[in-house]
Amino acid sequence: MLVRVRRNILITGGSSGLGAEMARQFAAMGRNVAICARRTDRLRQLADELAAAHPQSKVVNRTLDVDDHEAVFNTFQEFDEELGGLDRIVVNAGLGHGYPVGTGKFEINRATAHTNFVSALAQCEAALEIFRRRRDGHLVVVSSMSGLRGQRGHGTTYAASKAAVANLAEGIRADVFASPIKVTTLLPGFIRSEMTANAHRTPFIVDTHVGVRAMVRAMEREAATATVPRWPWLPVSWLLRVAPVRLLARA
């Protein structure tokens, strides 16, 4: 099946980690890239790097805190106008902080839940307003393998937020199923980034470039849902879905 080329791509959380590497790989493919994040200095540094390395690609950037929902709508619209129409929007910004529930760290868990779900909802709303108006577009939502099952300890709130955002993407996909608008849910396994900086003994972890390359390939296929990298995370996803809770409690 032939899939159209999406030339103008917006990536949130684009100043570092997976978002920055997505921007690098798409710019290397000749795509125009819009990146936004909270850290202005790192954002501008990346934009300068991409512009120098890939002059054939237009690179634009804006400082954005996705928890400022009014700013999300305004920024997405500004990017859409600046690039002459956004073709793909990647909802990538998120937090990985968390503590076991009931240990006095509610504020941290609430921030993770709010950014990873409520602010993702704001990004999806802003994206779909653009795509519905144009009757075309590709929404990509970055969930996680952690969202397939509940997680213990520090991962409880994070996993729940990633399950929520995956269900959000599936609901949107069902809503626009008969239209040209496409929706992709990405379920990354362990990929090196700032979020996994302390994961020294994490099994199956891959370098940022390798992991993001798998994510980009899934986006280019416009797969409905993709575990990335496919190996070993596809079989792991099957096991996770049937594993008894007593095994999850030991993980």
Residue 99: active-site member: no
> What's the chain's Rg over C-alpha atoms?
17
Calpha distance 203→181 (Å, rounded) = 36
Q: Which amino acid is at 139?
A: L
Question: 20, 61 in Cβ contact below 8 A?
Answer: no
Q: Which is the catalytic residue, given 76, 79, 117, 158?
A: 158
Please, is 22 exposed, middle or buried when counting C-beta atoms within 10 Å of its C-beta (0-12, 13-18, 19+)? buried
Helix axes 156-175, 106-113, angle to 10 degrees: 20
DSSP H/E element including 89:
strand 88-91
Residues annotated as catalytic (active site), given as ranges: 158
